[in-house]
Amino acid sequence: MSELTPKYTIWEGLNVAIHLGMRALEEIRALARIPGPAGRDGVSADQISMDYDGERTYTFKYAGEVRGSFKMPVVIDRGVWQEGTFERGDGVTWGGHYWIAKQDTTDKPEIVQGGGPWRLAVKRGRDGKDFDPKDPPKRGPIKVG
């Protein structure tokens, strides 16, 4: 199975999906205005709809009946890892790192020899050793522009 490699931001992906869905509905509605063969009813644009589940899935319906659906390949941040089921593309933090699920899983995120269901996306940074909150570093004004 290939790894998820984001090429676009989540907003670019959602924008494309919404525009493609809207364009598809426009084309279907345009076809609905073309009369069908004699003796048959045409497709009514009022009978066509598209539902969005609020996360990844778009579902197309005709006359209330599901005719097809697709999932957007986007990462959804699920916060700090807790026991449960995660879908491919879910992102969680665990152990100071950020992980993305490569497949549906209930496993805890960790580096597993030979792969595993999680991919380390962002590694934890180093803790500051010389910082004292009572004595912050003295710096001059910052110039912008």
pLDDT tens per residue, range 91-129: 999 999 999 999 999 999 988 877 899 999 999 887 777
Angle ∠(74,79,84) on CA atoms, nearest 5: 90
> Exposed/middle/buried for 61, CB within 10 Å: 0-12, 13-18, 19+?
middle
Residues 60 and 22 in one domain: yes
Whether 60 and 68 have beta carbons less than 8 Å apart is answered as yes
* Number of domains, the chain: 2
User: How far apart are alpha carbons 66 and 24 in whole angstroms?
Assistant: 15
Q: Domain range for residue 114?
A: 76-122
User: How far apart are alpha carbons 80 and 97 in whole angstroms?
Assistant: 10
| Mean of pLDDT over the chain | 83
For the residues 73-102, what does the mean pLDDT come to? 93
Say which DSSP state 60 is in: E
The sign of the CA dihedral 135, 139, 140, 144 is negative
118 within domain boundaries: yes
Residues 16 and 63 in one domain: yes
User: How far apart are alpha carbons 101 and 89 in whole angstroms?
Assistant: 5
85 within domain boundaries: yes
137 within domain boundaries: no
5 within domain boundaries: no
Residues 64 and 83 in one domain: no
The three-state secondary structure class of 108 is: coil
Of 141 and 99, the one with more pLDDT: 99
Query: pTM score, two decimals?
Result: 0.55
Residue 19's pLDDT is what? 87
The region of weakest confidence among 8-17, 28-37, 97-106, 121-130 is: 28-37
**Residue 37: is its pLDDT beyond 80?**
no
Residues 64 and 80 in one domain: no
User: How far apart are alpha carbons 69 and 18 in whole angstroms?
Assistant: 13
DSSP state letters, 31-48: HHTS--STTS----GGGE
User: How far apart are alpha carbons 14 and 141 in whole angstroms?
Assistant: 41
Of 64 and 37, the one with more pLDDT: 64
